[in-house]
Amino acid sequence: MLIGYGDFAMVGAQPPGESGGTELYAVRWIDQFAASRDLGKARSIGQRVLGFLLGEKETCLVKPLALLAGDSGRLWIADQGAHALMWVDPETRQIKMLEAVDRQGLPSPAGVCFGAGNEIFLSDSRRNRIFRQQGAEALRILNDTLTLQQPTGIAYDPFNAQLWVAETAAHRLAVLDRAGNRVHTVGRRGRAPGEFNFPTYLWIDRAGNVYVVDAMNFRVQILSPAGEVLSVFGASGDASGYFARPRGIATDTLGHIYVVDGLFHTVQVFDRAGNFLTHFGKQGRGAGEFWLPAGIYIDAANRIYVADTYNSRIQMFQLVEGAEDEP
């Protein structure tokens, strides 16, 4: 099933270093996940009865805000409603709720990203903390001496081994080393390039460039790994290519930029220069429809994962080349 308003053309859409050209791409809906019943194959009647007798409880998503997808298909989901980092393995049908090891828990998990190796970093915007999890370890505070102001979006720069964090209430970005020490700060409140007004979601592409959703300036800013402004695009409006409530952001391997807009209940797609290409999704509960979506993640195979927040689910899509619509 193809989602959106037709195929879209991208000039020079090939990865860097390859010859340019005009290609057509489309977004195909693959699947969705909302609860443990959605994982793997359906259980037999006997298995369901046994589960009932054993008192098994179904694990459901509540309010997913941000997510990651590993090469194996595993998902890590920051679920604000469940106050947990959800770990999902579709192959084994396992779902785990990872909570903080201390008594304060995770009142407001907001952002999640991969680090080096099998590290996972999680931000909690109410506790003003960054948490780290690796392998079988529990979630632990990265640096309990670090002071942050409402950390939300989070992304890891593997080239410099640095963690970028959106300090939404401070209208700036914190750049941390892997131990959680502040290296430097980028930006301040304002409207000029390099200034922010409630920055939220972040993404770092394969070149190390940092994509910042400058939410209340209704725009996206793209920064170099050193924090220099490379480009800015977007404005407030109610037409295609404009933003009402920009949220999650990600790029695919071809350079397309995907921005979730919660108020439009859609995902907008732009080229590298910030020119609008297309969008997919609309308000609703069906396949490919959204209700106040938030985070987005795109893996190396151009599978697109969207946190459909108020539908309490994750929807999965695939970018396909030269596809034609299906009946």
Residue 4 confidence class, pLDDT cut points 50, 70, 90: very low
- The answer, yes or no, to whether residue 303 has pLDDT greater than 70, is yes
Residue 48 confidence class, pLDDT cut points 50, 70, 90: very low
- Residues contacting residue 250 through CB under 8 Å, at least 6 positions apart: 203, 211, 257, 258, 296, 297, 298, 304
pLDDT of residue 93: 66
CB-based burial of residue 189 (10 Å sphere; 0-12 exposed, 13-18 middle, 19+ buried)?
middle
Which CATH superfamily, name and number, covers 2-321?
A: TolB, C-terminal domain (2.120.10.30)
Higher per-residue confidence, 320 vs 41: 320
- The answer, yes or no, to whether residue 288 has pLDDT greater than 70, is yes
Distance of CA 145 to the CA centre of its chain: 27
Percentage of the chain with pLDDT > 90?
A: 72
- The answer, yes or no, to whether residue 267 has pLDDT greater than 70, is yes
Higher per-residue confidence, 225 vs 58: 225
Query: pLDDT tens digits for 213-224?
Result: 999 999 999 999
pLDDT of residue 36: 60
Residue 323 confidence class, pLDDT cut points 50, 70, 90: low
Query: pLDDT tens digits for 170-206?
Result: 999 999 999 999 999 999 999 999 999 999 999 999 9
Query: pLDDT tens digits for 96-143?
Result: 888 877 889 999 999 999 999 889 999 999 999 999 998 777 899 999
pLDDT of residue 22: 59
- Residues contacting residue 131 through CB under 8 Å, at least 6 positions apart: 85, 100, 106, 121, 122, 123, 124, 139, 140, 141, 142
> Could you tell me the sign of the dihedral formed by the alpha carbons of 41, 301, 9, 214, in that order?
positive
CB-based burial of residue 12 (10 Å sphere; 0-12 exposed, 13-18 middle, 19+ buried)?
middle
Q: Where are the domains of the chain?
A: 2-321
pLDDT of residue 107: 95
Higher per-residue confidence, 112 vs 13: 112
- The answer, yes or no, to whether residue 17 has pLDDT greater than 80, is no
Partners of residue 307 on adjacent β-strands:
314
Q: Please provide the average confidence, as pLDDT, over all residues in the chain.
A: 87
Euclidean distance between the first and final Cα of the chain, in Å?
8
pLDDT of residue 181: 98
pLDDT of residue 95: 80
pLDDT of residue 38: 65
- The answer, yes or no, to whether residue 291 has pLDDT greater than 70, is yes
User: What separation in angstroms does the CA of 74 have from each of 92, 118, 143, 262, 302?
Assistant: 10, 12, 27, 25, 15
- The answer, yes or no, to whether residue 60 has pLDDT greater than 90, is no
pLDDT of residue 99: 80
Lookup: tokens for 209:
């460039």
> Which of 1, 31, 21, 73 minimizes the C-alpha distance to 254?
21
Contact 294, 65 (CB under 8 A): yes
Residue 58 confidence class, pLDDT cut points 50, 70, 90: low
Contact 125, 151 (CB under 8 A): yes
Q: Minimum mean pLDDT among 115-119, 243-247, 323-327: which range?
A: 323-327
> Which of 222, 224, 327 minimizes the C-alpha distance to 274?
222
